[in-house]
Amino acid sequence: MTASEQIHISAFVHNNALYANLWGKVSSFALNKINKQYQKANYVTAQELLPPCTRFFTRTIGLSCVYDIQNLRNHQSLLLKVIHRHWWIQEHPPTSQIDDNNFHYKDSLQSLLQILK
């Protein structure tokens, strides 16, 4: 990927809440594919309706399709769990596991602070 492609990805990802949960967690290729679906969703008009959804894109590619994106509420972000793990940059633990780890570290830090006092 060229530097100009990275800058372009950076611009559309950072300027759109849709990608908030995905940036740095899924590949740039996947982000580009999702962005193309997002652009399709934005350019649909009354005269140019989309054909009926077959779920083909999502089933074969493992990414959210134009219909999924259209169904999101304003400023809602796509969730990592709807992206096939194939596109993940690295395995991410579930949020509950992350929260548990943070809680554990918080307790450890509190103990260390008590010792230092």
In this prediction, residues 30-56 reach a mean pLDDT of 87
* Region of 53 on the Ramachandran plot (φ > 0 left; ψ -120 to 50 alpha; else beta): beta
Specify the pTM: 0.67
Q: Where are the domains of the chain?
A: 3-88
**CA atoms of 81 and 87, how far apart (whole Å):** 11
**CA atoms of 30 and 52, how far apart (whole Å):** 23
* In contact, 27 and 87? CB cutoff 8 Å: yes
Amino acid at 61: I
What would the pLDDT profile of 10-34 be if each residue is shown by its tens digit?
677 777 889 889 988 999 899 999 9
Q: How far is CA 11 from the centre of its chain?
A: 15
What would the pLDDT profile of 93-112 be if each residue is shown by its tens digit?
555 444 444 444 455 556 65
What separation in angstroms does the CA of 35 have from each of 5, 11, 77? Answer: 13, 11, 13
